[in-house]
C-alpha cells in the first residue's frame, strides 16, 4: 500500500518540489489548501503535477480544520511548509505571522498527537532563527538562536514546540533548519526573484531598472529542488533529529545581482540598480552560512546545483515567462 503524505504550503515554492519528489517515490500526496476565490496553481502547473495532488481544505489558523484533516487522512508523513514566509512583511503583520508560523504548528502537532500519533512530522525551520548567532562565521545545530525579526521569532517557537512534542509524547518530529533556497518558483516579493524578474524585463525592454535594499547582506543560497530531498530523508531515519541544511558557502546580494546581469551580457549593472532605503529591514541579519557536517554525514545529503547554476536557471526561467507574456499580449 502506498505511503501517504500531507503537505501544508502546497502552493508555495517548496511544496510543489516536495510533492514531485514524493510522487516519484510512489506516495499518495495530499495538499492542505485554504479556500481561495481564485487559487494560484502556477507552481504546480510549472512542474506538471497539478492533477496528481489530492487537495484538502484546511487552515493553519483554524484548530478544528487541522483536527479534521489529520483525523480523516491519518498520513504516514506530515510536512509543514505553510508559513507567512516573507521576512519583511513580518514587522507589519507580526500577529498574523505568529498565528500561522507559531500557533499553527502547535495546532497541527496537537492534531497529530490526538488522532495520528504514529505520523512522522517535519517542521520547516529557517536560518533566520539564528539572526546574530554564529560560531566563527557559521551556523549549525549547536548555534544559539538570536532572531532579528517577528518571522524568525515565530519560527523559534515552532522549532522548540516540535522538539517538545518529540521529547514529551514520543512523536517522530524533525526540524529542518534550511538556509536560503531559491528556484524559478520563488515568490516575486523575494529579493532573488525580484532580481531575476527585473533582469529579464530589462533584457526585453520592459523595465529600465530594479529597486533593491541592502546589497551587502550575505546568504547561503541553494536550490529548493535539492533541499526537499533533505526534508524527505529526515523522515526516513530510525530516530528523529534536527538538521541544518545549506551549501556551506555564502554570497552577497550584490554577487547575485552581478551574476544575474552577466547572463544578459551586462557587466556594468550599477546603472540599472537603484538602492532604496525603504527596502532595508528594521533589524538586519548581516550574514548566514551553514555548517553542514551533520546532514552530510548522517543523511548523506549534499546540494547538487551550484550558486551560479541557480542564478542562471532563475534568469532563464524569468526571460521565458516574460517572452510568453509578450507573445500573448
Active site residues: 126, 128, 151
Kindly give the pairing relationship between strand 54-57 and strand 77-80. unpaired
Q: Is 151 helix (H, G, I), strand (E, B) or coil?
A: helix
Query: By the 8 A CB rule, do 198 and 188 touch?
Result: no
Q: What is the C-alpha radius of gyration for the chain, rounded to an integer number of angstroms?
A: 20
Angle at 23 between CA 187 and CA 233, to 5 degrees: 80
Of 243, 231, 227, which is closest to residue 310 (Cα–Cα)? 227
Q: Is 28 helix (H, G, I), strand (E, B) or coil?
A: strand
d(CA 171, CA 116): 10
Cell (9 digits) for 22 = 514524493
Query: By the 8 A CB rule, do 278 and 125 touch?
Result: no
Burial class from Cβ neighbours inside 10 Å (0-12, 13-18, 19+) for residue 30 reads buried
Cell (9 digits) for 117 = 500519533
Amino acid at each position: 500500500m502506498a505511503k501517504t503524505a500531507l503537505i501544508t504550503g502546497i502552493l508555495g515554492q517548496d511544496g510543489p518540489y516536495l510533492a514531485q519528489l514524493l510522487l516519484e517515490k510512489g506516495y499518495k500526496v495530499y495538499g492542505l489548501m485554504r479556500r481561495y476565490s481564485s487559487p494560484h496553481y502556477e507552481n504546480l502547473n510549472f512542474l506538471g503535477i497539478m492533477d496528481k495532488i489530492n487537495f484538502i481544505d484546511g487552515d493553519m489558523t483554524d484548530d478544528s480544520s487541522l483536527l479534521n484533516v489529520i483525523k480523516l487522512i491519518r498520513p504516514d508523513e506530515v510536512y509543514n511548509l505553510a508559513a507567512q514566509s516573507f521576512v519583511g512583511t513580518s514587522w507589519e503583520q507580526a500577529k498574523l505571522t505568529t498565528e500561522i508560523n507559531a500557533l499553527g504548528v502547535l495546532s497541527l502537532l496537537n492534531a497529530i498527537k490526538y488522532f495520528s500519533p504514529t505520523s512522522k512530522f517535519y517542521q520547516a525551520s529557517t536560518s533566520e532563527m539564528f539572526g546574530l548567532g554564529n560560531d566563527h562565521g557559521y551556523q549549525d545545530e549547536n548555534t544559539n538562536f538570536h532572531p532579528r525579526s517577528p518571522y524568525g521569532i515565530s519560527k523559534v517557537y515552532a522549532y522548540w514546540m516540535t522538539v517538545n512534542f518529540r521529547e514529551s509524547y514520543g512523536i517522530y518530529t524533525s526540524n529542518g533548519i534550511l538556509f536560503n533556497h531559491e528556484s524559478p518558483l520563488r515568490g516575486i516579493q523575494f529579493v532573488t526573484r525580484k532580481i531575476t524578474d527585473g533582469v529579464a524585463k530589462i533584457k526585453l525592454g520592459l523595465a529600465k531598472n530594479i529597486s533593491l535594499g541592502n546589497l551587502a547582506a550575505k546568504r547561503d543560497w541553494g536550490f529548493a529542488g535539492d533541499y526537499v530531498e533533505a526534508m524527505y530523508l529526515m523522515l526516513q531515519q530510525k530516530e528523529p533529529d534536527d538538521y541544518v541544511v545549506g551549501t556551506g558557502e555564502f554570497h552577497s546580494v550584490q554577487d547575485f545581482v552581478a551574476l544575474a546581469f552577466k547572463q544578459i551580457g551586462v557587466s556594468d549593472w550599477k546603472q540599472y540598480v537603484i538602492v532604496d532605503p525603504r527596502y532595508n529591514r528594521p533589524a538586519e541579519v548581516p550574514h548566514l552560512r551553514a555548517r553542514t557536517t551533520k546532514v552530510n554525514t548522517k543523511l548523506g545529503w549534499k546540494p547538487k546545483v551550484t550558486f551560479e547554476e541557480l542564478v542562471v536557471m532563475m534568469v532563464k526561467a524569468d526571460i521565458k515567462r516574460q517572452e510568453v507574456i509578450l507573445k500573448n499580449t
